[in-house]
Amino acid sequence: MTDQPLGTPTPDEHTQTHQIEFPPHTPRTFTVEDVLANAKLPERTAQVCLRPDLQADYDAALTELATLVNAQGEIIADPEATLGDESRVGRAQELGEMITRIRKDMATHMWSVRFRGLASEDYSVFNKQHQPKGENPDTTEYNLRLIAATAFDPPITYEQAKALNGKLGARAMAELANTAWNVCNDGGISVPKSLTFSVNQARN
């Protein structure tokens, strides 16, 4: 038998190497050309309730219901209550049905707006043109222009953004403005966790 060079063992069934087989969904290595051809700008969706007035009714019903039932949904016994047990049960059921109706009504008045981020170069130009200067500046104008520049489903013009600002409440406009800002600054490229993983984590 011919001696093997130092560090090169004689191959046998135990030491012979095999080509590694990667899983079928192993990410490929992208070239710059691949990235330029396939990369997409980030997108996010804002949801705005057009009937925020219903929140007051919802909160009032929920507050009253909390005086009648505990966290387990059981009627709270109160010997000094002026309502009889039957009346308390009936009122609790009525409030539960009212809360369900309000939630459904609010859901039917949700407005979705989809935003697409600006390319880095375009965003830099946008900021140079519209970013306010000075300490504690008023960012209203900037936010309205950013909403108009990034909203695409449905598209929103600057004039429409101004009209919405005069009609919608501060919370709704903040949702639109924050989504427009986030899609340009925090688009995110990581793959979301699977639903199963999220559920398991929630149970831990």
Asked if residues 73 and 42 have their Cβ atoms less than 8 Å apart, the reply is no
Which pair of tokens denotes residue 127?
């900021």
pLDDT tens profile 85-118: 558 888 889 999 999 999 999 999 999 999 999 9
Of 85, 93, 84, the closest CA to residue 65 belongs to 93
pTM over 0.85: no
Burial of 14 from C-beta contacts in 10 A (0-12 / 13-18 / 19+):
exposed
- The Cα–Cα gap between 144 and 141 comes to 5
How far apart, in whole angstroms, are the C-alpha atoms of residue 46 and residue 48? 7
Question: What tens digit of pLDDT does each residue of 148-196 get?
Answer: 999 999 999 999 999 999 999 999 999 999 999 999 998 555 555 655 5
Residue 79 has pLDDT above 60, yes or no: no
What pLDDT is attached to residue 14? Answer: 47
DSSP category for residue 28: P
Q: Which residue has the tokens 């903040």?
A: 174
160 vs 52, residue with greater confidence = 160
Number of Cβ within 10 Å of residue 160's Cβ equals 15
Give backbone dihedrals phi and psi of 113, rounded to 5 degrees, phi first.
-125, 125
